[in-house]
Amino acid sequence: MAGPEQPPPAGDGEPAAAPGDAASAHPAPSDGGDRPAATAGGPRPLAPWLLPSLIVGLSVLLAVIVLGFIVGRGDDGGRAAAGPATAAPLPQLPRGGRVLLPGRRVVSFAGAPQDPELGSLGVGRLRGAVGRLKTRAASYSLKTRPTQPALQLIATIAHADPGRDRRYNQHQSTRVVARYLREARRAKALLILDIQPGRSTFVSETTRLVRWLREPDVAIAYDPEWRVQKDGDVPGQVIGSVQADELQRSLDVVARIVREHHLPKKLVIVHRFTKNMIRDLPTIRFPRELQMVMSVDGVGDRANKVVKYRELTRDLPAGWRPGFKLFLKEDAAAGGLMTPRQVMGLRPRPDVVLYE
């Protein structure tokens, strides 16, 4: 009986089949689908349930990542959006804004409740004085430059009596300062705290007023006429003066308060009616947080007051602004109180007009 048929011997152009090629010569039986089964030598097929499970798992992971990103962005965006909306607005001046000069001209009544002789704010009831101030301020108002009414309270009053601490001064109580501040705010006016230090220093008296200077609508004024330094000198009996370095240190205290509390530029008035009342004036460097005004004081008739004003404003160092003070009782007795029209005729025009 014939044996099994042998494969033909390999020719020159046809290699002999490798043992593994026998399987490839016959396709594997189909599993019933369109896809042929893997050959014995290829990768094993994936289980039919594995691919859908993998897709679901990746979808869940992607959803978690996206959700976390959205939540994170929402928190950051919420904080960024809420920042400016919830931040406290910067303090403002009584009639708006953060810089007083030159946008407005300040018109002030000065005084103290202890004695009508100390100025117009001590005459009659305080509210009546504020009403008169508003009327007077209106006479200086221009369409291009409105006025800012101000109450100048003498917070430290020089005295001929040395007192127990031998400082030759008297301080207003907290209750009095608070009352004047309330009335100023009722009229949208500025409160100016005036210092007549006596034998004390401007630095120590400024420090004592820190709690009030933290307010955006409280300014300060220095009156060197009442700063006496030598033993035996009594305020009111000699004309005082101040050294530039003492005034400089006082200004630095005020500037620091403005910076720390983000206040509007602070008005600082320095009174003067003689050239040597402020010694070494050109050496004073006033900080950018302050607006400096040199008020030319002095009792007299119109002619003498105009001459004094021209003399003391001619040598003002750069950056100082001019102010002018009128004495209701004394000027009237000396020849007549200057009218607002006459005051506005001064050159340079004063940025601050004070009545005492």
Residue 52 has pLDDT above 70, yes or no: no
Confidence at residue 56, expressed as pLDDT on a 0 to 100 scale: 61
| Distances from the Cα of 29 to the Cα of 24, 36, 38, 47, angstroms | 12, 8, 10, 18
The C-alpha atoms of residue 202 and residue 224 are separated, in whole angstroms, by 9
The C-alpha atoms of residue 167 and residue 79 are separated, in whole angstroms, by 54
Confidence at residue 315, expressed as pLDDT on a 0 to 100 scale: 84
349 by Cβ neighbours in 10 Å (0-12 / 13-18 / 19+) ranks as middle
Confidence at residue 84, expressed as pLDDT on a 0 to 100 scale: 54
Percent of the chain surpassing pLDDT 70: 76
Residue 180 has pLDDT above 80, yes or no: yes
Confidence at residue 310, expressed as pLDDT on a 0 to 100 scale: 97
Mean pLDDT of 289-306: 96
Residue 234 has pLDDT above 50, yes or no: yes
Strand partners, 326: 355
Confidence at residue 30, expressed as pLDDT on a 0 to 100 scale: 43
Confidence at residue 215, expressed as pLDDT on a 0 to 100 scale: 98
Confidence at residue 355, expressed as pLDDT on a 0 to 100 scale: 97
pLDDT in tens, 7-29: 444 444 444 444 444 334 444 44
pLDDT in tens, 322-336: 999 999 999 999 989
**Residues 304-313: contacts with CB within 8 Å, 24+ apart?**
304/334, 305/331, 305/338, 306/346, 308/273, 309/346, 310/347, 311/275, 312/272, 312/273, 312/275, 313/348
pLDDT in tens, 98-127: 999 999 999 999 999 988 888 778 777 999
Predicted structure pTM score: 0.76
Report the range out of 160-164, 231-235, 251-255 with the highest average pLDDT.
251-255
The mean predicted confidence, pLDDT, of the chain is: 85
